[in-house]
Structure 1
Amino acid sequence: MLSRHIFSTIPIVLNFIPAVLSQTYYTQNAHFKGKNFLDAFNWETFDDPTHGRVNFIDQQTALNTNLSYADDDVFIMRADYHQIVPSYARGRDSVRITSHDAWGDSLLVLDLAHMPEGCATWPAYWTVSKNGPWPQGGEMDIIEGVNLNNNNLASLHTMTNCTMPQTRSQTGQVVSTNCDAAVNYNQGCGVAFATPASYGSGFNTNGGGWVATWRSPNSISHWFWPRNAPNVPDEIRQGDSDVVTPGENWGTPDATFVWPQCDYNSHFDPHQIIFDLTLCGDWAGNAFPTAGCGPGNCQDFVDNNPDAFGNAFWEINSLTVYTPSSF
Structure 2
Amino acid sequence: MLSQNFFSILIALKFIPTALSQSYTQNAHFKGRDFFGAFNWETFDDPTHGRVNFVDQGTALNTNLSYADNDVFIMRADYHQIVPSYARGRDSIRITSHDAWGDSLLILDLAHMPEGCATWPAYWTISKNGPWPQGGEMDIIEGVNLNSNNLASLHTTTNCTMPQTRDQSGQVISTNCDAAVNYNQGCGVASTTPNSYGSGFNNNGGGWIATWRSPNAISHWFWPRNAPNVPDEIRQGDCGVVTPGDNWGTPDATFVWSQCDYNSHFDPHQIIFDLTLCGDWAGNAFPTAGCGPGNCQDFVDNTPDAFQNAFWEINSLTIYTPQS
Measured after TM superposition, the shift of residue 59 of structure 1 is 0.2
Deviation at 1:22, TM superposition (A): 1.1
Q: Which residue, 56, 61, 67 being the options, matches 1:58? A: 56
Match among 102, 115, 118 for residue 104 of structure 1: 102
CA distance in 1, matches of 2:201, 2:167: 24
RMSD: 1.1
CA distance in 1, matches of 2:133, 2:261: 15
The SS at the match of 2:245 is coil
The answer for the alignment partner of 2:43 in structure 1 is 45
Query: Which residue of 200, 203, 223 corresponds with 2:201?
Result: 203
Counterpart selection for 1:118 from 116, 119, 129 = 116
Alignment correspondent of 1:315: 313
- Distance in 2 (alpha carbons) for counterparts of 1:219 and 1:244: 17
Map 1:234-313 → 2, pairs under 5 A: 234-313=232-311
Question: Does 2:146 align with 1:148?
Answer: yes
Asked if residue 139 in structure 1 is aligned to residue 137 in structure 2, the reply is yes
CA shift digits 1:12-32 (9 cap, x unpaired): xxxx96946312100100000
Give the Cα–Cα distance (whole angstroms) in 2 for the partners of residues 65 and 247 of structure 1. 44
Determine if the alignment matches structure 1 residue 183 to structure 2 residue 201: no
Q: Counterparts of 2:249 and 2:298 in 1: how far apart (Å)?
A: 44
**TM-score (norm: length of structure 1):** 0.94
Q: How far apart, in 2, do the equivalents of 1:23 and 1:213 lie?
A: 15
Using the size of structure 2 for normalisation, the TM-score is 0.94
**Preserved CA contact (<8 Å) 2:237 2:316:** no
Q: Which structure features the higher share of helix residues?
A: 2
Q: Secondary structure at the match of 1:249?
A: helix
Instruction: Supply the AA of the counterpart residue of 1:260.
Output: S
Is the Cα contact below 8 Å between 1:214 and 1:245 reproduced in 2?
Answer: no
C-alpha separation in 2, matches of 1:267 and 1:251: 27
SS at match of 1:146: coil
Deviation (angstroms), 1:245: 3.5
User: Which amino acid letter does the alignment assign opposite residue 188 of structure 1?
Assistant: G
Q: Displacement of 1:241 after TM fit?
A: 2.2
Structure 2: distance between partners of 1:284 and 1:308: 15
- Which of residues 196, 210, 216 is equivalent to 1:212? 210
Asked whether the 8 Å contact 1:131–1:137 carries over to 2, the reply is: yes
Deviation at 1:71, TM superposition (A): 1.1
Runs ≥4 in structure 1, deviation > 4 angstroms?
none
Corresponding letter in the other structure for 2:77: A
Aligned residue for 1:48, secondary structure, equals coil
Instruction: State the partner residue of 1:158.
Output: 156
What is the total number of aligned residue pairs between the two structures?
A: 311
Note if contact 1:163-1:179 (Cα within 8 Å) is conserved in structure 2: yes
Contact 2:20 2:245 (8 Å CA) reproduced? no
Q: Could you list the runs of 5+ residues in structure 2 that have no partner in the other structure?
A: 1-11
Unpaired runs of 5+ in structure 1?
1-15
Matched-pair contact (CA < 8 Å) for 2:238–2:318: no
Secondary structure at 1:178 match in 2 = coil
* Aligned partner of residue 63 in structure 1, secondary structure: helix
Greater CA drift, 201-210 or 237-246: 237-246
Deviation at 1:70, TM superposition (A): 1.1
Aligned to 2:82: 84
1:71 aligns with 2:65: no
List per-residue Cα deviations over 1:113-138 (Å, max 9, x = no partner).
00000000000000000000000000
Which amino acid in 1 is paired with 2:115? E
Query: Which letter maps to 2:262?
Result: Y
For 1:245 and 1:132, locate their aligned partners in 2 and report how far apart those are by CA, in whole Å: 30
